[in-house]
Structure 1
Amino acid sequence: MAISRREEARALSADEQDLVAKSHHPAVQELADAELANLVKLLRERRDRAQTEAHRRRREMRGKGAPKGAVASKADGGSRLKLEVLAMAMRRLNGEAERRRQLAARLSLAENARKALASKQAATNGPDFNARTAHEGMRAVANLKAQNLIRPMERGRQRKAAAVAQAKRDAR
């Protein structure tokens, strides 16, 4: 479910809002790679802290954990919303990092293919080229299997005749 920017602002503190705002679409693509890595690190720390807090509050509500304050928590809606907002921001940042990684991989692959093509075009097929098809083009390899002279239709007719004869013997 999508969370509006107003709900995000209500759930987060001011510095967290700045971090999450950088994870939205136009801003995230303008970040340098180092800034993106730093933002992922900071946001992951905030998300983990919010996750721990939400977990602690749920334990307090169930009566399993000791209350942090004077009274145990009655609801954890705010901490859960904060966790969701930070997790969605992490998902966006991870998606952008993966997109950049795939783009770099595609560029690297294209560059390597260009280098390989240039290397292949520069190479000569001299006498040191050792292959079965070198210098003279493809040559046919003789088929060593003996040719079967029996027609397939005749073989099928004989099989069927044997099957019918066996069925007659079995029926006696």
Structure 2
Amino acid sequence: MAISRKEEARALSADEHDLVEKSHHPAVQELSDADLAGLVKLLRERRDKAQTEAHRRRREIRGKGAAKGATPSKADGGSQLKLAVLAMAMRRLNGEAERRRQLAASVSLIENARKALVMKQGAASDGPAFNSRTARRGMRPVANQRAPDLVRPMELGRQRRAAKVAQAKRDAR
């Protein structure tokens, strides 16, 4: 479910809200790669901290963990919302980082292909290469290494059938 920016502002502190605002569409594309990496690091730390807090509160509510304050927490809706907001911001930043990585890989592939084409065209204009595929001495017959079979195939079949019939006679006794 989508979380509105108004709900985001209510769930986050001021500095967290500034970080999350940078992860939204127009602002995230204006960040440099170094700024994006720094923002990912900061936001991941905040998300992990919120996740730990949400888990602790959930344990308190179930009665499994000791209360951090004087009384155990009654609800953890705020911590869950904060965690969801920070997780969605992390997802957006990771998507932008992946988009940039794929774009850089595509550009690199195109550059390498153009470089290879220039090298190939330069090599083709120099004449035949040292290891060119030419016939040299031409085709030569290759001797058959298998020994010739002296027994006719018909004779082999006749012997096989005779052995089969003889075995059947022995088995019938």
Give the superposition deviation at 1:122. 0.5
Identity of aligned residues (%): 78
Aligned length, in residue pairs? 163
In the alignment, what sits opposite 2:83? 83
Give the superposition deviation at 1:130. 1.9
CA-to-aligned-CA distance 1:2-37 (integer Å, 9 cap, x gap): 100011011000000000000000000000111000
TM-score, normalization: structure 1? 0.76
CA distance in 2, matches of 1:101, 1:125: 40
In the alignment, what sits opposite 1:31? 31
In the alignment, what sits opposite 2:71? 71
Give the superposition deviation at 1:102. 0.4
The reply to whether residue 130 of structure 1 matches residue 131 of structure 2 is yes
Give the superposition deviation at 1:125. 4.0
Give the aligned residue type for 2:73.
S
CA distance in 1, matches of 2:108, 2:32: 19
The structure having more radius of gyration, on CA atoms, is 2
CA distance in 2, matches of 1:126, 1:113: 22
TM-score, normalization: structure 2? 0.76
CA RMSD of aligned residues (A): 3.4
CA distance in 2, matches of 1:125, 1:81: 70
Give the aligned residue type for 1:4.
S
Query: What aligned pairs does 1:23-62 form with structure 2 within 5 A after superposition?
Result: 23-62=23-62
Instruction: Flag structure 2 segments of 5+ consecutive residues without an equivalent.
Output: 142-173
In the alignment, what sits opposite 2:102? 102
Query: What aligned pairs does 1:9-20 form with structure 2 within 5 A after superposition?
Result: 9-20=9-20
Give the superposition deviation at 1:76. 0.5
CA distance in 1, matches of 2:77, 2:46: 17
CA distance in 2, matches of 1:62, 1:69: 16
Instruction: Flag structure 1 segments of 5+ consecutive residues without an equivalent.
Output: 143-172
Give the superposition deviation at 1:68. 0.1
In the alignment, what sits opposite 1:162? none
CA distance in 2, matches of 1:125, 1:48: 63
Give the aligned residue type for 2:120.
K
Give the aligned residue type for 2:131.
N
Give the aligned residue type for 1:62.
R
CA distance in 2, matches of 1:125, 1:94: 50
Give the aligned residue type for 1:104.
A
CA distance in 2, matches of 1:47, 1:125: 63
Where in structure 1 do 4 or more consecutive aligned residues deviate above 2 Å?
A: 124-127
CA distance in 2, matches of 1:49, 1:93: 18
In the alignment, what sits opposite 1:120? 120
In the alignment, what sits opposite 1:5? 5
CA distance in 2, matches of 1:126, 1:114: 22
